[in-house]
Structure 1
Amino acid sequence: MKIIHNPLLPPRRYDAVNILGLLLCRKGTTLTADLIQHERIHTAQMREMGFVGFYLWYLLEWLVRLPMKGRAYTNISLEREAYEHMNDPDYLLRRRHYAWWKHLKRHKA
């Protein structure tokens, strides 16, 4: 995964954003091993779903979760998988395809 430091992306309240497998972060952002792992998990999700499929699913699930209890972003299944395993450096070696699917049923309040 290529890391690009820039002055514009992501929006200020986020540390990094993964666009098509490129990790964009603002200049001066400290990238931790956990954050990089989180974004690598997203890259794996993008590869298995296709980039367009990933972004369509992400947007649709975010829209569905907006009226639900809790913060929509943190309740997206793709994010929950990435957050749950971001501190496990070996996760991608044993990750099954579509592992995020199990997070659809469980809704965090």
Structure 2
Amino acid sequence: MILIVNKYLLGKSFKGVSLWPFVILKNSDLKDDFNFINHEKIHLRQQLELLILPFYIWYLAEYLLRLLYYKDRFLAYKNISFEREAYSQEMKENYLQERKFWAFLQFV
């Protein structure tokens, strides 16, 4: 994981984003936020499991499908399986050590 802090690379509503192998943060205070960093590490693992490019294709496709369903960008984002896994597990210190392969599938 390579951390990059740059407030200009992200839109207003983003605090950070994982683009394997980078995690781009809006501000340096986020480096010390365990839950936030763990959330992004979960995304990095998901990206590796899906061999990176298919992750982004799946993520976008699922977002668009959920946007059609919910008709709300925030609800669509929060209900993407990758996000549901990351948000529900971000506070668990050992989650990545115990996580099963393709664990995000249980959140589809």
Normalising by structure 1, we get a TM-score of: 0.88
Tell whether 2:80 aligns with 1:79: no
1:83 is paired with a residue whose SS is helix
CA RMSD, aligned part only? 1.3
Give per-residue Cα distances to partners, 1:49-82, cap 9 Å, x unaligned.
Answer: 0110100000000011002236100000000000
Q: Once superposed, which parts of structure 1, at least 4 consecutive aligned residues long, lie more than 6 Å away?
A: none
Letter in 2 for 1:3: L
More helix by share: 2
The equivalent of 1:43 in structure 2 is 44
Percent of paired sites with the same residue: 34
Q: How many equivalent residue pairs?
A: 104
Gaps of 5+ in 1: 105-109
The equivalent of 1:52 in structure 2 is 53
CA drift of 1:20 comes to 1.7
Find 2:102's aligned residue among 84, 98, 103. Answer: 98
2:8 is paired with a residue whose SS is coil
Normalising by structure 2, we get a TM-score of: 0.89
The equivalent of 2:22 in structure 1 is 22
Whole-angstrom CA distance in 2 between matches of 1:2 and 1:76: 24
